[in-house]
Amino acid sequence: MFSHSKKILFSFLCFGAALTQNTLASSDLQPEVKATTFASSSVPVEKDAFDFLATQFPDILEASNKPFAHCDEESKHYAKLQSLVSEQGKEPGEILLKGAIHVLEKPTLEWFGPKHDKFMRKQIHPMLETLQTGHPLHGYYQTFFQHAYMNHTVLEDLLLASEYLYQVVSDEGGGMTLFLGRAPCLVKLAYERVLAFKKDQGQRAVHFNFSGHADALTNRELPFFKGATNITRDVVTPQKLNHYFSYMDSKNILNEKSLFIVGILDSGGSLNSFLWILHAYFQERATPLPRLMFLNLTQDMNWGLDKRRSFSTFEQTGQRTNKGVLTLLPFP
């Protein structure tokens, strides 16, 4: 039911997802420093400034103003779902829900069998030990580390991740937590349950639809990611930017003092694109950027997933070197 990419996504949410609190460090973008400087500028943002892709690929500019076409991977998933609907005589939503429940009930360590189990145990312990060193142990942090070394179901790990997230935001004085894209959606649902349980009015959860690398090329190397259909989707036009700014208005983020962005990072390209648009939005609305913090959902694994070429091999590509510290590749 679930593709390898979906399984990898859920696998990355395992073990409470080790929501490590990081300050974005990149030679090109440091939000708390540079973005604040940008926001204080009196120069209005020019919406046609997003033109890197349009300039480099003029032959697809016309297509970028048309409704998006399905790419090959989406077409395959859609065809698979249609086939299951025909075979089982059920509604698509019912089939998808059944598949989701099956995934959420799976133990995280044993996902792909003994080889994966051994690999995960070898990797997860030093990562957790690094994270725990000097880490505060009050509130939900204590709950997290009491359970982090156990073999959980994905559902239990989603709850652990959301509790850890709650404690981070609480300790930082509260604010709005922005769940970016599809990857953290289930963590958001669990986080909302924690907020309801705690009756905490100082935190607010918001989901932002965002995907791809707006006005930038992805670092992924497979032809699927380099195709014209994918690149066309990432072209930013003034019309699309206006539409997205209106969508951002509906989220009521302009008056927030602190913004906690939650997502899953590989190279940081998609986040870089989002921060670029976020900066443009606050400039357009003549509002200073709030304090920005990023919370990364990751296991800090090094198993060759960055190029999407070895989904299920679980071959270690090298020794862990970053020891829980988030580093991003530079982007122009």
Q: What is the per-residue DSSP string for 30-85?
A: -IIIIIHHHHT--SPPPGGG--HHHHH-GGGTTGGGSPPPPPHHHHHHHHHHHHHH
Whether the per-residue pLDDT at 330 is higher than 90: the answer is: no
Q: Which of 210, 205, 294 is nearest to 252 (CA)?
A: 205
Query: For the chain, how many residues are written?
Result: 332
How far, CA to CA in Å, does 44 sit from each of 59, 88, 120? 29, 55, 49
What would the two tokens of residue 179 be?
């769940």
Residue pointed to by tokens 């460090």:
25
**Among candidate residues 52, 49, 54, 50, the one with its CA nearest the CA of residue 65:** 54
Residue from 320, 216, 212, 330 nearest 267 by CA = 330
Q: What is the pLDDT of residue 70?
A: 76
Tell me the pLDDT tens digit for each residue of 37-92: 233 333 445 555 788 888 888 888 888 878 777 777 788 899 999 999 999 999 99
Cα distance between residue 312 and residue 306, in whole Å: 13
User: Using an 8 Å Cβ cutoff, are 324 and 131 in contact?
Assistant: yes
Q: pLDDT higher for 215 or 151?
A: 215
pLDDT band at 315 (very low <50, low <70, confident <90, very high): very low
Rounded Cα distance between 81 and 91, Å, is 10
Computed over every residue of the chain, the mean pLDDT equals 76
Element holding 256 (H helix, E strand) = none
pLDDT in tens, 101-127: 998 998 887 777 787 777 777 777 777
Q: What is the pLDDT of residues 284-296, one digit of tens each?
A: 999 999 999 999 8
Q: What is the pLDDT, as a whole number, of residue 327?
A: 52
Share of the chain above pLDDT 90, in %: 40
The strand pair at 175-180 and 258-263 is best described as: parallel
The region, left, alpha or beta by phi > 0 then psi within -120 to 50, assigned to residue 173 is left
* pLDDT, tens digit (0-9, with 9 covering 90-100), for 172-204: 999 999 999 988 999 999 999 999 999 999 999
| Nearest C-alpha neighbor of 209 from the set 241, 236, 237, 185 | 185
The whole-number pLDDT of residue 300 equals 53
- pLDDT at residue 12 greater than cutoff 50: no
Q: Is the pLDDT of residue 162 over 90?
A: yes
